[in-house]
Amino acid sequence: MTDTVNAIVLATELTAAWLSNPNTRADADAVPAFLTSIHASLATLASGEPQQGVAAPEPAEHVPAVTVRKSLASPDRIISMIDGKPYRMLRRHLSTHGLTPDEYRSRYKLKADYPMVAPAYSEARRDMAKKIGLGRKPKAAAAVEPAAAPAPTRKPRRAKGAAPAD
């Protein structure tokens, strides 16, 4: 009894949330149909039985657009195995397809060290980082500054309107 009550309450709350969405435009006839379908789905989930007409999705066989050798043939670009287009860096391209680098590697059975960045691009970024000084360890303050010579002494400033002292 409590499972049925909880399913009804939950279905009612979900329907209310669906209706409170400003992008939802529902007719008066659509609301009871939506509530009934939500309740049926919740009751099916609560019982633990598989839903009718819903088959478990079979894992799709992903066929690479190019071979591994061809994808790494150019030092300037890496060719994506998803669509066969060249990229300097694959990470953003993979995120648009909802993949992480590890998922991409496992999907196409690539080695763990398969690069996500073209070698020439990586080298250019490395050279730029070295040029601006990234990666260097800070030197000791004494080694950077040579022995300091005594600072020249300055004459004290005279007050405004005061006569110069001779």
Task: Give CA–CA dist 93/114, Å, rounded.
Answer: 16
Domain that residue 35 falls in: 7-47
Q: What is the pLDDT of residue 101?
A: 95
**Residue 143: what pLDDT?**
55
Q: Is residue 141 part of a domain?
A: no
* CA angle, 46 then 42 then 40, to 5°: 115
Task: Determine the pLDDT at residue 104.
Answer: 95
- The CATH number linked to 74 is 1.10.10.1550
Distance CA 103, CA 163 (A): 83
Phi, psi at 89, each rounded to 5°: -140, 130
Whether 25 is in a domain gets the answer yes
Per this entry, what is the length of the chain?
166
The predicted pLDDT at position 61 comes to: 81
pLDDT in the model for residue 24: 74
Same domain for 83 and 114, yes or no, is: yes
Residue 73, by phi and psi: left (phi above 0), alpha (psi -120 to 50) or beta? alpha
The single-letter code of the amino acid at 40 is A
Q: Number of folded domains in the chain?
A: 2
26, two tokens: 């529902």
Does a structural domain hold residue 95? yes
Amino acid 165: pLDDT: 64
Please state, in angstroms and rounded to a whole number, the distance separating the CA atoms of residues 113 and 12: 51
Q: Which residues of the chain have pLDDT under 50?
A: 1, 142
Q: Phi/psi at 14 (nearest 5 deg)? A: -65, -40
- Mapped onto helix, strand or coil, the DSSP state of residue 89 is strand
Note whether residue 94 is domain-resident: yes
Indicate whether 79 belongs to any domain.
yes
156 in a domain, yes or no?
Answer: no
Nearest Cα neighbor of 42 from 7, 73, 4, 79 is: 7
Cβ atoms < 10 Å from Cβ of 104: 21
